[in-house]
């Protein structure tokens, strides 16, 4: 008997959430009836995060508030454990380039070793967002550049406050 997966996670650090991330969430929602954006605590991230976990969750919630069937939740620890807690059967990740693929394939292989039932789904980045990353957005904002075409207004405002002189 086939099992239909209805709930998927879209995990990431979202430091901060960008229009590229939102595109992946929208596309995941077209495939799955329920999507949870899983905001990772990311304790091991080099140099830490620009925004706290609660700030990243709040920005993602505000940026995604109009998408039905999508919720945002923080998590720490193993993604497979969070997937079990949330009763999610798949992980959806966006891929921009071959370097993304190599990293995400490694993560998918590890997740498979930990839970063979957790599917990994990859969606190719929209050509509109293939160049976009949170680190690029942070760098532009840190130099006072305009990031309004890359992120929702709530994020642009938070970045402006964070990098104000």
User: Across the strands, what pairs with 93?
Assistant: 122
Catalytic residue, candidates 42, 96, 126, 133: 96
Catalytic residue, candidates 29, 93, 134, 138: 134
134 a catalytic residue: yes
Catalytic residue, candidates 21, 29, 34, 93: 21
Catalytic residue, candidates 45, 54, 84, 142: 45
96 a catalytic residue: yes
CA distance 63 to 157: 12
142 a catalytic residue: no
45 a catalytic residue: yes
3-state secondary structure the chain: CCCCCCEEEEEECCCCCCHHHHHHHHHHHHHCCEEEEEEECCCCCCCCCCCCHHHHHHHHHHHCCCCCCEEEEEECCCHHHHHHHHCCCEEEEEECCHHHHHHHHHHHHHHHHHCCCCEEEEEECCCCCCCCCHHHHHHHHHCCCCCCCCCCHHHHHHHHHHCCC
Q: List, by residue number, the catalytic residues.
A: 21, 45, 96, 134
């Amino acid at each position: 008997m086939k099992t239909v997966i209805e709930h998927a996670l879209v995990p990431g650090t979202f430091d901060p959430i960008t229009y590229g991330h939102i595109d992946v969430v929208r596309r995941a929602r077209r495939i799955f009836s329920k999507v949870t954006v899983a905001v990772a605590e990311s304790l091991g991230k080099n140099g830490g995060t620009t925004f706290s976990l609660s700030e990243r969750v709040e920005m993602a919630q505000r940026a995604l508030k109009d998408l039905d069937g999508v919720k945002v939740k923080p998590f720490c620890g193993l993604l497979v454990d969070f997937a079990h807690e949330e009763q999610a059967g798949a992980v959806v990740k966006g891929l921009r380039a071959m370097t993304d693929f190599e990293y995400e394939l490694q993560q998918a292989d590890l997740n498979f070793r930990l839970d063979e039932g957790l599917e990994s789904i990859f969606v190719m980045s929209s050509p509109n967002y293939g160049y976009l990353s949170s680190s690029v957005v942070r760098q532009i904002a840190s130099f006072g550049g305009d990031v309004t075409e890359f992120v929702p207004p709530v994020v642009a405002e938070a970045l402006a406050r964070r990098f104000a002189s």
